[in-house]
Structure formats: structure tokens, C-alpha cells
Amino acid sequence: MLSSANAMEAEGPLVVIKADDLICRDDPSTAGFGSGWNRFVEIADEAGIKVSVGIICNSLSKGTPEYFARIRALHDSGQVEFWNHGYTHGRNKETGVSEFKGPDFETQLDTLIRSQALAKEKLGFAFQSFGSPYNANDANTVRALRELPEITSWMYGSKNADLLPGQVNLKRSLNMEQPVHHPNFEAFKRDFLKQPDQAYYVLQGHPGGWDEARFEQFQQIVAFLQEQGAVFVTPSELRERLL
């Protein structure tokens, strides 16, 4: 359940939790979410915060009906915004080429469209937000996004990208995981207190691989931000507030 306290506390910063890499796991007891994502959703619910979850979209071509139903239910609740996090999440280790860094414009556009179409087909809604795998992108990514006005928020997009009017780039300013995959409360708090005046913070995490110790670090970060009066919003809500 969402607490009304967040909505009423308008003084603090806006915070988006950008949780990456949801796939469908062979775990019927969690409708394919697996223990990490299951715990993440549970903690968000307990804390009364909104979060966002990036889907690796080939999981929508292989997923189970239970997986789709769970995503739909969370989407309908308004507590979770699901977003387009690429199709394969692949990267060539030798060349560094990934889905949105290196491929030509048509290929990148096709990758985006394939994922958007799968969301509409399997989930009944279109993604409004995008974040590329590895946050890697190039000029063709900007061109491709300009062809898809239904995507209105780009998390960790390239600086000064010439997007369409109405499309926003939600920048990275602080890291919750230090190093990557390890939520780190003390390091986060130290960094936050160095720049506590940002209008918003988009915080990346990978809860599918967190263990209980890492979830505890995440919970401390959430509690700390709530003490600062933070309002946890979805990427689309943040965009609306920034326009």
C-alpha cells in the first residue's frame, strides 16, 4: 500500500528508483520474478514507495502467463512503472558493441519497436520510459528515440541529446550501488550530503541479484531519503513534474 505521507511531503527531493534487468525466472512460486525481485517488490510495498523496473524484453517473448499477470497487476497498482531495458541486453566483450552502442539506426529502432510491441501484446500497455543496457548509447539511439514519441523518458541518456519536445532525459547524479550490484548506505549518504539540493535523483540498482545484506543496505537508503522528505516517483511522474 502507498502511504499518503509521501504525497503530502512536498519539501524533499524527487527520487526515482531505477531497478534494472527483470527477466522471467523458472520459479513458479514467485510468478517468475525469482527471490530477489520478489523481495524488492515486497520492500517497496512495505516502505510505501514507488519504484521502476527495467524489463529485458526478450523475457516477454519467453515468459509465462503468470509472469505477465504479475507485471500487469503491479503496473495497474500504480506502484511500479515498467520500462524498456532493451531486448537481449547483449554486449560483445571484445568490441564493446551493445544493443544501443554501435548498431545502425534501423537496427536500434527495430530493437526498440520490437520491445514496445511485445509490451503491448503481452502486457496490454506501452512502455513510456527507456534505459539502455549498460547505459550505453550513441547518436543512432537519439535518432531512434525521436521516431518513438510514445517513449517520453530516457533514464541516463546522453547529455544534450536533441530529443523531441516532450521527451526528457533523466540524468544520473548519485550512485546507490557502490560498486555496481552492491547497495552501499554509508557511501550513498556521504555522496548525497555533498549534493543534497538536486531537484531529483535517479538511483540505479539490480535487485534481482541482491542478497539479504544488500537489501538491508537498500532499506537504509530508502529510510534515510524518507527522513529527508523524499518523494518517490516513477520516471513518467518525474517527467511530468519537470515539464
Which residues would be at the binding site for Zn ion (CB under 5 A)? 20-21, 133
For 29, residues 6+ apart whose C-beta sits below 8 A from its C-beta are: none
Shortest Å distance, C-beta 149 to Zn ion: 24
Of the two residues 21 and 237, which places its CB atom closer to Zn ion in the complex?
21
Of the two residues 65 and 90, which places its CB atom closer to Zn ion in the complex?
90
Q: Which residue is nearest to Zn ion (CB)?
A: 20
Q: 192: buried, middle or exposed (CB in 10 Å: 19+, 13-18, 0-12)?
A: buried
Query: How many beta carbons lie within 10 A of that of residue 138, not counting itself?
Result: 16
Of the two residues 31 and 56, which places its CB atom closer to Zn ion in the complex?
56
Of the two residues 63 and 205, which places its CB atom closer to Zn ion in the complex?
205
Shortest Å distance, C-beta 14 to Zn ion: 23
Shortest Å distance, C-beta 20 to Zn ion: 4
In 3D, which of 64, 114, 67, 61 has the Cα closest to residue 86?
A: 114
Dist CA 20 CA 38 (whole Å): 14
In 3D, which of 78, 77, 85 has the Cα closest to residue 23?
A: 85
Shortest Å distance, C-beta 54 to Zn ion: 6
